[in-house]
């Protein structure tokens, strides 16, 4: 990724107790993501790719256009925040992935989403 194409990804996950059913191995999580264009050129988010892994090693791969039905176009210094969710079969899991982006200068690049943990409260220290 060139110096002009820099995207900062911040993730804030939380457990959704009201939407979970541990007796049926269903653990619901929400995550809020803030995508900030820290580069010098505007860029548009085209698609997403996720790997969601539960504590049993089960991996779900998710690909699709945009995020929550949007393809935000971020000017330098601009941010876009959204909230989505994931359902896994264990009380702990991890997610990671990338957003496919295109800069206004025509360069395609990936903005990596750092791995983050999905965990019910008081499960991990």
Full-model pTM: 0.91
Per-residue burial over 98-119, b = 16 or more CB atoms within 10 Å of its CB, e = otherwise: bbbbbbeeeeebebebeebebb
Which parts of the chain register pLDDT below 70?
A: 1-3, 123-125
> Is the Cβ–Cβ distance between 113 and 96 less than 8 Å?
yes
| Record: fold of 7-119 | Immunoglobulin-like (2.60.40)
- Rounded to 5°, angle at Cα 63 from 27 and 113: 75
| The pLDDT of residue 4 | 78
Helix (H) or strand (E) holding 124: none
């Amino acid at each position: 990724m060139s110096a002009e194409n820099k995207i900062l990804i911040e993730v804030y996950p939380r457990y959704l107790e009201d939407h979970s059913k541990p007796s049926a191995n269903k653990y619901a999580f929400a995550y809020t993501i803030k995508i900030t264009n820290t580069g010098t050129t505007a860029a548009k988010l085209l698609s997403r790719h996720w790997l969601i892994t539960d504590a049993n090693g089960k991996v779900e791969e998710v690909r699709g256009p945009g995020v929550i039905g949007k393809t935000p176009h971020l000017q330098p210094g601009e941010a876009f925040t959204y909230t989505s969710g994931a359902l896994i079969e264990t009380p702990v899991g991890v997610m990671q992935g990338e957003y496919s982006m295109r800069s206004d200068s025509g360069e395609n690049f990936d903005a990596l989403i750092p791995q983050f943990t999905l965990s019910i409260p008081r499960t991990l220290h």
